[in-house]
Amino acid sequence: MRTEDVLAAIATGLWRWDNASGIVSLDAEAARLLGLPAEPVRLSEAAVRSRFHPVDWNEIDGVVSLAVAEGTLAEARLRIMDEQGRVIRTVRSRSKPLIEGSDYQLVGTLQEVAEPQPGTAGPHTPITGDWRRSREAFLLDAGRALAEARSTAEVLRVAASLSMPGFSPDGLAVFGMSGDRLTVIGHHGQQDGDEGPFTSMSLDTDYPAAEVVRTGRAIYLPSPEEYRRRFPTTWPLAEPFERQSWAFVPLVVAGRTMGAWMAAFKHPATFTPDERSVLTTVARMLAQALARAGVAESERELSLGLQRTMMPVLGPGIPGIQVAARYVPTGGGLQVGGDWYDLIRLPGGTEGGTGGGAGRIALVIGDVQGHDVRAAALMGQLRIALRAYASEGHRPDAVLSRASRFLYGVNDGYDGYDGDGRPGGGPGAGAPGGGPRFATCLYLEVDLETGTVDIARAGHPDPAVRMVDGTVLLRPTAGGLPLGIDADTDYPTTRLTLDPGETLMICTDGLLETGGHDLDSGWERVRRLLEAHRGDDLEELADTLVEAVHGPGSHHTTGPLADRREDDIAVLLLSLRPATAVRETPRRTLMTIAQAEPERIAEAREQVRQLLHDWTDEDQLDSAVLMVSEMVTNVLVHTDGDALLTAEVACGAKGRRLRVEVSDASDELPHKRHPGEMASSGRGLVLMEMLAETWGVAPRGEGKTIWFELTEPPGAEGCCS
């Protein structure tokens, strides 16, 4: 008797499904079971699919995919429908995939299943609507949680917290590879140290995880007897854990097996096709999450190495000063960009901590356009160039002029393509088409003996000074174009004086503009932080500034918080010496308004407002601002020289006193306008006579100084209280 006749006698048919051609071959009994004439036939996949209930087809499609991935049998129950869409019978399918490269053929049987009679229990059907919905919700949550994990430790924590519907494992282990050795990446549900025997195990070992890594096929062990039978050599290693069932599933990324995942159960598990499908799906998501975490950790390690190489170590090598700095790269990808800072000992400065603190240093902070590898490379080149020019003894304006010419030359030789032949710049580079880059920069030369600071600025945010009593001033400085735009740009120099105990802050725009702020609102936020800080610990102040933007510990943050950063941040703080109890130290600001810069009159008014931020009499404050504006305007209108503004708040016998001086190089003294005169000159002196407590004009050897004073009303809380 033929095999086909025997199978037909027990209502069992044969079929072959060719995945490559999409043709399904049925023998006579299989055709009959599908509601077709009882004769051998070859049909298209679509024609066969039309005979199955749509819900059951979706299930068998997943079961077959799982069997192909694992090399196991595909088993399912299917309802057969007629041409009118009515269910005519139920069949059980058992098939085996025969894999040929990327294609496969499915060879199997179809057998009719008797329907239960009324009052009797029907056959077990593992798939229910509730279980399916529970499984889909679990996989959705697991996928979301694993996608958000940014480190291997986070991935392992998520994997350990997964609660699978109906059969949660009690023990988990993730195995990786190192050469030809099996390694344990992490585990859960075991004691620390239990992983010892499984660490650095040869891939040739007769152990389930090793075989999974070798073959790329899952292994399911539903009982201790099955484990002992298949892996007698390593069963003694697993026996002490007293588990009843084990699943070892490959971790596959881009077709390459990168490790294995073990799920162990203290209760017996049968590993139905649906349960295996859930385990396989979780393993696939787990593998992708581990791969992403590995790439991110490699990038972070490279970033930290680049940062350590490119950023200077600001140690306590120079007596009499405090220095603190922070660099926070933008989130996402390679965490290094174009921001940098530097401290340079200039010729004639202190070496090895000698000289009693006298000498000169240079502070540099800058930002190369872009947040990519090329920005970091240009930053490194520019930093070296600036160090070289500074070490040659050039003044600040000459240092920036040479640096701009250097970067312009680098840009001139750039063809718009990176070394791999692709357009340079990359995402977020900020240079259209990966073209030439520019850089903003602030260069300060500090005389440690006198406290004078000479500043040259190339399109960068101005510095700020926090005085001894907590008053914070943004110090406007003259500036030129960013570096690299014009080979022959000039950079004027601005001088200010840093008194002992005052703190100088310079930063990149990332500190100001992060969090939806513009430069103005961002500066107000930073100013409030500087004013609120108490004490003289610059390291603590640096942390406060950075954490206010990105949260606690953000100067070394990884993970989701790091990815929300909008721009690189660099900040550098300098104090000539720790602040002491010298509350009587006057507040002082000094600035020059050039003939060609009348727009800086507004900056002069703002300087006075900042200097008098806690002045109690608003009318006096408005009067002082008005008089300063009038005095500076008179110099620019009636002389050929620049105006030098000096404002100081000091304690006097009757309370705090404001003195403002405006000097110029003209010998012509101002005169007060008299009644009947038609000329417009002299009105400023009338204003001063009305608003100032005292005022005067003092001739100097070359030029003159006009000044006024105001005294704060009694009872005000200030430096004299």
For the stretch 27-76, pLDDT in tens is: 988 888 888 898 999 998 888 888 888 777 767 777 777 777 777 778 87
Distance CA 372, CA 661 (A): 48
Q: What pLDDT sits at residue 50?
A: 84
Distance CA 4, CA 1 (A): 8
| 503 DSSP β-pair partners | 466, 575
| pTM check: above 0.85 | no
Name, in order, each residue with C-beta under 8 angstroms of 576's C-beta and a sequence gap of 6 or more: 320, 321, 448, 451, 498, 499, 500, 501, 502
Long-range CB pairs of 123-131 (<8 Å, 24+ gap) are 123/77, 125/77, 126/272, 126/273, 126/274, 127/59, 127/274, 131/165, 131/166, 131/274
Residue 359: φ, ψ to 5°: 135, -170
Q: What amino acid is encoded at 95 in this protein?
A: S
Q: Give the CA-trace dihedral at 137, 141, 143, 148, to 10 degrees.
A: 160
What would the two tokens of residue 576 be? 């000539």
CB 47 within 8 A of CB 262: no
Per mean pLDDT, which of 586-600, 601-615, 687-701 is the most reliable?
601-615
Of 7-16, 280-289, 470-479, 620-629, the least confident: 7-16
- 241-262 mean pLDDT: 90
For residue 627, how far is the Cα from the chain centroid?
48
Classify the C-alpha dihedral 519-520-522-524 as positive or negative.
Answer: positive
For the stretch 159-173, pLDDT in tens is: 777 767 666 788 888
CB 268 within 8 A of CB 125: no
pLDDT band at 12 (very low <50, low <70, confident <90, very high): confident
Instruction: Look at the block and give the residue holding tokens 């988990």.
Output: 172
Q: How far lies 236's CA from each of 175, 207, 228, in Å?
A: 19, 11, 9
Angle of helix 683-691 versus helix 618-638 axis, rounded to 10: 160
Q: Which of 665, 662, 663 is nearest to 639 (CA)?
A: 665
- 393-404 mean pLDDT: 93
Classify the C-alpha dihedral 98-104-109-113 as positive or negative.
Answer: positive
The DSSP line for 34-89 is: TTS-SS-EEEEHHHHHTTB-HHHHHHHHHHHHHHHHHT--EEEEEEEE-TTS-EEE
Q: What pLDDT sits at residue 556?
A: 43
- 421-439 mean pLDDT: 52
DSSP summary character for residue 192:
T
Distance CA 335, CA 329 (A): 5
What would the two tokens of residue 252 be? 């596959």
For the stretch 595-648, pLDDT in tens is: 888 888 998 999 899 889 889 899 999 999 999 999 999 888 888 888 888 898
DSSP summary character for residue 463:
P
Instruction: Let me know the angle formed at the C-alpha of 646 by 642 and 651, rounded to the nearest 5 degrees.
Output: 170
Q: What amino acid is encoded at 213 in this protein?
A: V
The DSSP line for 229-285 is: HH-TTTHHHHGGG--SEEEEEEEEETTEEEEEEEEEESS-----HHHHHHHHHHHHH
pLDDT band at 565 (very low <50, low <70, confident <90, very high): very low
Angle of helix 129-148 versus helix 273-310 axis, rounded to 10: 10
Kind plus residue range of the DSSP H or E element containing 99: strand 87-100
- 299-325 mean pLDDT: 70
